[in-house]
Amino acid sequence: MEANLFLLIVDIDECVENQHFCGERGICVNQLGSYLCKCPTGFSNYGNRQTQCAELNCDQYETQPGQTLPGFDSWSLLRNNCLVLSNSMLPGLTRLLPTGDVLLTLLVNTTDVVQLGLQSNGHRSSSEVTKLLRTIEISFRLIAPLLTENVTRIETNHTEVEIMVRRDKTPPEGPVSLTNENTQLDTTWETVVGDDQNYPGYAFVILLSHKNLDSLKDSTSHQSQQLMSSAVTVSVSNSNTTYLPQQVNLTFHHLQSSDVDPTCVYWSDENGPGVWSGRGCTLVMSNSNQTVCSCNHLSTFTLLNKVQQGSGQLSLVMWVGVFVALTCVVLSLITTLWCRFVSRKRRGGHRLQHEVQLHRK
Ligand SMILES: *[C@@H]1O[C@H](CO)[C@@H](O)[C@H](O)[C@H]1NC(C)=O
Ligand SMILES: *[C@@H]1O[C@H](CO)[C@@H](O)[C@H](O)[C@H]1NC(C)=O
Ligand SMILES: *[C@@H]1O[C@H](CO)[C@@H](O)[C@H](O)[C@H]1NC(C)=O
Ligand SMILES: *[C@@H]1O[C@H](CO)[C@@H](O)[C@H](O)[C@H]1NC(C)=O
Ligand SMILES: *[C@@H]1O[C@H](CO)[C@@H](O)[C@H](O)[C@H]1NC(C)=O
Ligand SMILES: *[C@@H]1O[C@H](CO)[C@@H](O)[C@H](O)[C@H]1NC(C)=O
């Protein structure tokens, strides 16, 4: 009895102390020496009892004809996962959900198959590439907060993923670096978190490398436009990444050592089905083995050998062709005129025969 009284006296009501613990919509419940956050329907803290409740939009996992990738059949699983997470009326069901690791393996396995499908399809359309990348992006937003390890890596035949998750009470700070076989990402936790007023109690950063480059070729561009490195997708818990206050740096190892000047590009799908674009990315350093790019937004990035140079080579071939053709025309004109001139000097009857002989040559 005495001990209980003592505990009651020292218990601090965290919910009164800090209104932000559970987010704007979360309900803070004080407990002896602790607290927990209850999330209203449509919100979740991914089973972490003490973090902010973030809004979940499960409609984005709806299979819409023409909007999602054929072959990606994990949508219903993701949607169910989302619905259970966002409904606190079903707390018991959370235990039945597949873990973050299982969902991640499924996603990576599926994108592998889809990439293979796009490749064997021959004529990959830009919009299919866009769908694949969007699918990966929105799936990771659901899966990453469910991962329990600080660092998770998965590698398959066509995909290599590294995910780093932090669950600190306060937003983490300082540099963060992720690497895989051919690429390195350098950024800061400040960029990963974004607006720290809305810090949901976790932060994640993802570096996904697409090893099957062919499926990411932009079908509308010149044949001469070639990827000089792997393509990588970078995703972070901050969802406002169209203009970052601080640039992220990507170091690409060239697939083959090359002295061609590369261009840093990202997959742009804002206006149309999708195309490689250099907007917002600058080249920091390049040698024959590697190139460092600095970009002010997040997306899927790669290196192209210079676009202008590609079309320049094409038109050079064209001009050489035109020059050769014109030279032939001029030469044959001169030959014909010269023949006429010569044969006119000769006497009468053999003229016609002579000309025919010359033409046969
Ligand atoms: C993913 O693919 C690997 C290798 O093919 C397989 O071992 C694993 O069981 C698959 N995982 C899932 C969840 O399908
Ligand atoms: C991965 O590639 C290896 C070697 O090419 C092949 O033997 C294996 O079947 C592939 N695995 C999958 C799941 O495609
Ligand atoms: C994971 O990171 C936290 C800090 O964010 C650290 O306290 C913990 O020891 C790490 N766990 C492992 C297994 O490295
Ligand atoms: C990226 O590179 C630029 C130029 O080298 C540097 O000033 C900046 O600090 C780098 N950013 C990160 C996050 O490493
Ligand atoms: C997104 O980030 C930019 C730059 O940090 C900021 O100016 C803008 O207000 C943010 N937008 C939203 C909707 O938070
Ligand atoms: C590129 O790599 C090769 C082999 O690893 C090395 O010999 C060469 O010095 C490197 N070049 C530069 C500019 O780093």
At 27, which CATH number? 2.10.25.10
How much distance in Å is there from the Cα of 201 to the middle of ligand 3?
Answer: 14
* Owner of token pair 């932090």: 166
Compute the distance between CA of residue 126 and CA of residue 229 in angstroms, rounded to an integer: 19
Atom of ligand 3 nearest to the CA of 150: 1
Q: Mind listing the pLDDT tens digit of every residue in the chain (361 residues)?
A: 444 544 445 667 778 776 677 888 888 888 887 888 888 888 888 877 778 888 888 887 776 555 555 556 667 778 888 888 887 655 565 666 778 888 899 888 888 877 766 666 555 677 778 888 888 888 898 899 889 899 999 999 888 999 999 988 889 999 999 999 889 999 999 999 998 887 888 899 999 998 876 655 555 554 456 788 889 999 999 988 888 989 999 999 998 888 888 999 998 888 777 888 899 999 999 999 999 999 999 999 998 886 543 333 444 445 555 555 666 566 676 667 676 766 666 555 455 455 445 455 5
Closest listed residue to residue 128, CA positions, set 182, 77, 170, 66: 66
Compute the distance between CA of residue 340 and CA of residue 337 in angstroms, rounded to an integer: 5
Closest listed residue to residue 52, CA positions, set 41, 35, 39, 40: 39
Inside any domain, residue 165:
no
Closest listed residue to residue 293, CA positions, set 281, 304, 305: 281
Atom of ligand 1 nearest to the CA of 102: 13
The predicted model scores a pTM of 0.77
Residue nearest to atom 9 of ligand 6 (CA): 289
Q: Is 249 helix (H, G, I), strand (E, B) or coil?
A: strand
Inside any domain, residue 15:
yes
Inside any domain, residue 47:
yes
Inside any domain, residue 245:
no
Inside any domain, residue 18:
yes
- The residue type at 180: N
Question: Which CA distances in Å does 54 have to 77, 137, 173, 194?
Answer: 20, 17, 21, 15
How much distance in Å is there from the Cα of 106 to the middle of ligand 1?
Answer: 7
Atom of ligand 3 nearest to the CA of 149: 13
Atom of ligand 6 nearest to the CA of 289: 1
Burial profile 91-120: b = 16 or more Cβ within 10 angstroms, e = fewer: eeeeeebbebeebbebbbebbbebbebbbe
Q: Which mutation among 285, 288, 291, 292 tests ligand 6's pocket best, with the greatest number of atoms within 8 A of CB?
A: 288
Ligand nearest to the CA of 115: 2
Structural domain span for residue 63: 11-97
The number of folded domains in the chain is: 1
How much distance in Å is there from the Cα of 303 to the middle of ligand 6?
Answer: 19
45 near 26, Cβ under 8 Å?
A: yes
- The residue type at 228: M
Inside any domain, residue 22:
yes
